[in-house]
Structure 1
């Protein structure tokens, strides 16, 4: 199976490196600047239980690439439009695309570009970041990719992808309803992002002050209410896990959106929070805390855009 990983950042680089280490035929589609850095330093993954260093196969959008059997799409939503253009030559009649983005809006976008039959559902569960050298640092245990046909039907191509991932040490259990799984991840990441970005602190810092845990629970309740009204209620067991995660005392956990805010970078606010609160409006579900977090991040987004325009 020829695999194209679109992006070699904290998510795509991590899963791609695992696949390469297991002997899979993986090529990374990257921008020229990232390609130069990877050619000079290699692709490296460090962290608990991780020590990978390899010379990856690379391709840039201006080079011939042929078609691939599997595309792992792991860019941020802010880069999705360009990524779709760049990977278009790699998508043939039998190509399966597994998007590992948060939220749901990217599905319609990808369907419009490549047709719904090509696009599987996908969920990534991993806690990684890039350090100052561009190396990938794994910060917590999860290493999970869920995928499936979006209509829930059994699928040989899904079985083949799951087998490939499992062989690389990436958990990929059967997921009969991948759309529901995407919604449940969306609720989790929205709760984590809204809480930490609103209060400007890690999970542990939020819960170290009076009212912090209560706010996290209230944000989760709003996000879960939107999912339920959309026909994808989060099971109580998953709600309990999310509650424990976002109310854990002393936890250093932060989502990438919060780290982007601290670094003065653009965020995925519209794809993750903006789309969710828009759906809430359409369903008449009140989400005052999520509305506030969305506005807060939109102000940040506008500030970043103005700063970049002035350079």
Structure 2
């Protein structure tokens, strides 16, 4: 498969995971365990840890170790069949500029990121076609470094954390959805989904990945920034009737925007909130980042939606108010800016 791109058998792919945090480590471990040639583009001390110990994954009460190649230089790893990007959004521009040696003519690049990706409006024939999201890709560097033709979109539904560098704990969920940015079905998206399914994921290929991204955004853009402001897990936020009504209002704004953008997401806010309520005591990624002193992804998760609303002339006052307060909170904590 390394010689024939994605045209050869599923079980022999050269896969590079860029960023071996919680989700990246989860992917690397599962794919390596399924027999793929997995490498990790890492940085700092993590590179040496991965070279010596590989990725250690705890899932379902069992711990496994998976050897991977690791380097802090893309040129050492060479051209890949698949490149999976799992860094936080603030680090994406620097990563995009560094991964050129990993990308050959047939390489598939899968940005497994939170929020609205830089490519969301780059296809012809979509509402706001050609719009560059400055909150995500201010100077167009990501767009220039990762050609759209290489991209397969992804939505990840999984809860993972890192107990130590190179050690991933999988708590729940293992769903991954893949799809062409163009919104059309493709053989390569089907093959990627099959590869992940073979590695133990609940993986599917979607004919409308933009809709899937917006469906995940519906929760993330509401629960994440408010959890940052209140330092509360989801169950405590939803126990407050005032906050629940705030979430309903924010979701209505996102749903109205989705219809204007031609995405047409039809999910009742109360239904979406009910899904989160069933999960119980959950710390959002932004709350975890606040507690750990890590950069938060406010721009890609909330700011980009506001930018799209402004471009489409849709009023989203609740989103704007929450975003402004969350940005100020993150600034005061020193976690708003580059990763």
| Structure 1 counterpart SS, 2:313 | coil
Is the contact between residue 74 and residue 99 of structure 2 (CA under 8 Å) also seen in structure 1?
A: no
State the SS of the aligned residue for 1:93. strand
Q: Choose the corresponding residue for 1:292, options 321, 325, 339.
A: 321
Cα offset for 1:101? 0.9
Once the two structures are superposed, the pairs formed by residues 18-29 of structure 1 within 5 Å of their partners are 18-29=30-41
Counting only pairs closer than 5 Å after superposition, residues 193-272 of structure 1 correspond to structure 2 as 193-236=224-267, 241-248=271-278, 251-272=280-301
**Does the aligned pair in 2 maintain the 1:216–1:247 contact within 8 Å?**
no
Root mean square deviation, CA, Å: 2.5
Does the 8 Å CA contact 1:197/1:293 hold for their aligned counterparts? no
Residue 304 of structure 2 is aligned to residue 275 of structure 1: yes
Matches within 5 A, 1:161-176: 161-176=192-207
- The partner residue of 1:14 within 7, 21, 26 is 26
Q: Deviation at 1:138?
A: 1.8
Alpha carbons of structure 1 residues 241 and 37: separation in structure 2 relative to 1, 3 Å: farther
CA contact (8 A) 2:176 2:201 kept: yes
269-278 or 219-228, which moves further after superposition? 219-228
Alpha-carbon deviation of 1:218? 2.4
Structure 1 residues 215 and 181, CA, compared in 2 at 3 Å: closer, same or farther?
A: same
TM-score scaled by length of structure 2: 0.82
User: 1:151: which partner in 2?
Assistant: 182
306 and 116 in structure 1: CA distance in 2 versus 1, 3 angstrom threshold? closer
Q: Is the 8 Å Cα contact of residues 4 and 68 (structure 1) preserved in structure 2?
A: yes
Deviation, 1:70, is: 0.7
**Under a length normalisation based on structure 1, what TM-score does the superposition of the two structures give?**
0.89
Residue 31 of structure 1: how far off its partner (Å)? 0.7
8 Å CA contact retained: 1:123, 1:147: yes
Once residues 254 and 201 of structure 1 are traced to their aligned partners in structure 2, the CA distance between those partners, rounded to angstroms, is: 7
Structure 2 counterpart SS, 1:126 = strand
Distance apart, 1:65 and its partner CA: 2.1
Q: Which residue of 2 aligns with 1:190?
A: 221
Structure 2 residue corresponding to 1:122, chosen from 147, 154, 160: 154
- Which residue matches 2:168? 136
Contact conserved, 1:128 with 1:136, CA < 8 A, in 2? yes
- Tell me which moved more, 39-48 or 66-75: 39-48
Task: Choose which of 102, 105, 108 in structure 2 pairs with 1:96.
Answer: 108
Q: Helix, strand or coil for the counterpart of 2:282?
A: coil
Match of 1:56 among 58, 68, 91: 68
Using a 3 Å threshold, how does the CA distance of structure 1 residues 210 and 27 change in structure 2: closer, same or farther? same
What stretches of structure 2 of length at least 5 have no aligned partner? 1-12, 123-136
Listed one character per residue, the Cα deviations across residues 182-201 of structure 1 (whole Å, up to 9, x for unaligned) are 22222222122133223320
Contact 1:111 1:119 in 2 (8 A): no
